Amino acid sequence: MNEVTLHRGRSPHLNVIDAYVDGQHLTEAMSDGLILSTPTGSTAYSLSSGGPIVHPSVNALLLTPICPRSLSFRSLVLPGSSRVTLKVSRASRAPAEVSMDGQEARILQPGQFISVEASPHPVPCIKRSADLFTSRVDVEKKRTVMGERGLGDDWVRDINTLLQFNASFKNKHLATEGL
C-alpha cells in the first residue's frame, strides 16, 4: 500500500474525521480529508498536500491533512507499527469517500471507519541497481569517489532528478534579459 485517502469527494462540505492511533483518540479533523501513507507513498498526494518526503527505509506511516480548517494541523510521522483508525464523525455533514492507491473510491457514511496497520507478512520487492552491469573495478572506483553510503541509493538520485529537490526557481524571461 502506498496510501489510503479519506476525503470529501463531490461534497461541498468539509469532512469531520476522528483519527485514532493505537486506539487512542488523536484528533477530530475538519478538512477536505486525510491521507495515510507509507514512505513509498510520501512523494505522491501526501507531498502535494504539504507532507514530508520520507526515505523508504524508514518504518513509518504519515498522516497528512488535505486542506485542514486549522492552520496548526500539520502532517505527522507515526511509527510504522501503529494501527490508525479514521472514522467519519457522526457530526460530519456528508459521507466521505475512501480510496486506496488511487483505486475506485468507496463511500463511508458518518459513523463508519477504516483501520490500517502494517501486515506481519511484508511484500518482497526487487531493488533496481545501477551496478547490475558494471564491473567490480568500476564499483570500487565509485565507492572511493562517493563513499560507502552514497553507492546504490537510487532514492537520493530520484528526489533530485525527478522531484527537483530544493532546485532554485529560474525565470527564463529574466535570464534572457540579463538581469
Q: In what order do the strands lie in the sheet with 106-108?
A: 76-79, 60-66, 33-37, 3-7, 96-100, 106-108
Q: Which of 1, 27, 33, 35 is nearest to 14 (CA)?
A: 33
161-176 exposure pattern, b = at least 16 Cβ within 10 A, e = fewer: eeeeeeeeeeeeeeee
- Whole-number pLDDT of residue 56: 87
- Whole-number pLDDT of residue 144: 45
* pLDDT tens, the chain, 179 aa long: 789 999 998 899 999 999 999 999 999 999 999 999 998 888 888 888 989 999 988 999 999 999 989 888 899 999 999 999 999 999 999 999 999 988 888 999 999 999 999 888 877 766 655 555 555 555 555 544 444 554 457 888 888 888 888 887 766 665 566 55
What is residue 171's three-state secondary structure? coil
Q: Position of cell 496497520?
A: 117
- Whole-number pLDDT of residue 9: 86
Q: Which of 118, 71, 90 is nearest to 18 (CA)?
A: 90
